[in-house]
Chains A and B, each alone.
Chain A
């Protein structure tokens, strides 16, 4: 029994931060129809910014809780600014072009940001673990878990619920949904689509960076951080359905559990399992688990 509980807890911890990254990716695709390759770079930037802020706070001998809060605020501010700047300064010039062009533009942004992070933070691994000790350790299913890891589960659930609520129960959310479903009709109804685009992209960037910040205290940041994340988050949104919040949640949990089960039961198949699930879903539901099939407009 404990064995299966361990797999579930490990899977949920893994799913928690992956869900936040995938949520940003799926939101940007839902609204802007952009497959944002640079999404992993925003995760990396969030992680690096968080580490810098935590280190600064620790240098001033302030408690780790201050570092934790400060890193979240700093990352939110920087990510929102970077997101708006990129959307207004670059992406909007390519709206209306083929989706492949936008894909290539975000790939170029990914390459540029990879080097920017190296220029700013160097190639050496850096870490800032002070917030990782914030919530102590807990014994669960016969194992010690770091409280911080477990706290990530309710945090990501709260973020997911807030976004679902915001999209489905608020006026602003309904406007965003209207743009997702039919952009032309939204424009004709007086919706300022450009603002929705800018907001959605900046929010997607913010989510990626937030996930980076939340994972920063437990990892050693080094170049290459972004590419791993983008591959996993793409797998999640493909499983769940591009543009679906519920899909991102289910996809993240499936990937997290599949990975945890593989490591415990069949370590050799760890990577294979994730793509096996993805292939299985695509075989039976090419649109992903939660994406509704839409009628083709002529």
Chain B
């Protein structure tokens, strides 16, 4: 609703009322609230992992078994995708449809690439006979990376729907909303990578 409408209404009411609520796009507000709950999901998980890790020095051997190189490549892949989603957002502000679509497309491709590498990594571990039931470290490893991968998949679906809308020339503001989510998925990985791959 337009700001002017409210001003008129206030004038018509013949009363001096304080400025009405600051209006930011509903999608942005909703996404921030949603992400706050997501922080608690991964926060609880990471806290549980760290507390267990302090009690289990023997996890160092398992952590050494993780495929560090592919984890590092995936970190680079996700960070690059965060850049492209920012570029998409910048272009969305000017409603440059082609630039938005190109950058979101690259983000989408990088997200898929991340999942492919993750799949290669999982199958490598399964071939070595490592699974979620191997020991507590690997239970946490598969749970944390698996939950993160599910979030990546959700992000890819969300990006696709935003791309469909943008291709029709609609809802450019949604690029920002989906970008917020994508950054969150990225940040979670920034926590997971050192915790699972680097700390011995």
Do the two chains bind?
no
